[in-house]
Structure 1
Amino acid sequence: MPRRRPDRARVHRRRPGQSIPQVTGASAPTAGAIARFERDHFHPGAVARALRCWSAFVHGPIRAITDSESCHYFYGGWDEPDWCRGILRDAQRALPAKAARELRALVRPLDELYLTRAIPAPGNASLRELLDTP
């Protein structure tokens, strides 16, 4: 009898009828470029999920933005803001120029909202570095 693969190997496998999350507001060419990036580097829907996570964090409670410890309480696991913003940064760097510009236009308002709400502190220095790098 063949050995079954570990569950972790099947984490991102789609079920029949399950749709892949798409980046809302992206044009068809940009969506195609994002899909190729996800296929090569992450998993289908990773950029859309990261954008949703980053948006939820930025629009979330102010205590989660200002206190790094409470941030992990609200956004544990894959949905950590540093991880999500890192995926968006990697996508912006790897996508073709036009697609990267379009994704940057979707992410920039969220970054600006974060910067207006967050107080510079050592706890959020790594997240601020992600925003400073293009």
Structure 2
Amino acid sequence: MARAFSTWKRSVQGPVRFLRFRDDDCGIAECCRAHLAARDLLESAALQLPARVARELRSLIRPYDEIFESKSIADPEVPASEWWWNRRFVP
């Protein structure tokens, strides 16, 4: 969890180029989209934690979510069933 949090935080605080999909992006989150895989893991954990602890985790994640949201735009091609950060891309 610490590694996932660190990856998410570092990625969204870093240069925008670290958030863009590369031309050779294979589409596998753990390979070419580590920041999204990290955020997926954080959300999966929050869904399994007791409510109070989940709220604390989400309060730690929220500032970085806001940064990511400000650097990205909605991708209308991605199904609404995906988590919100997976429905965005960085131009």
TM-score by length of 2: 0.70
Identity among equivalent positions (%) equals 35
Identify the structure with the greater strand proportion.
2
Q: How many residues align?
A: 78
Offset of 1:104 from its aligned partner?
0.5
- Gaps of at least 5 residues in structure 2 are 86-91
Question: Could you say which structure has the greater relative contact order, defined with CA pairs below 8 angstroms and 6 or more residues apart?
Answer: 2
Larger Rg belongs to:
1
- In structure 2, what is the Cα distance between the partners aligned to 1:79 and 1:48? 18
Identify the structure with the greater helix proportion.
1
Give 1:68's aligned amino acid.
F
Give 2:73's aligned amino acid.
I
- Equivalent residue of 1:68, what SS? coil
TM-score by length of 1: 0.49
1:130 matches 2:83: yes
**Match in the other structure for 2:11:** 57
Runs of 4+ in 1 over 6 A off after TM superposition: none
1:69 matches 2:22: yes
- In structure 2, what is the Cα distance between the partners aligned to 1:79 and 1:52? 14
Offset of 1:59 from its aligned partner?
0.7
- Gaps of at least 5 residues in structure 1 are 1-46
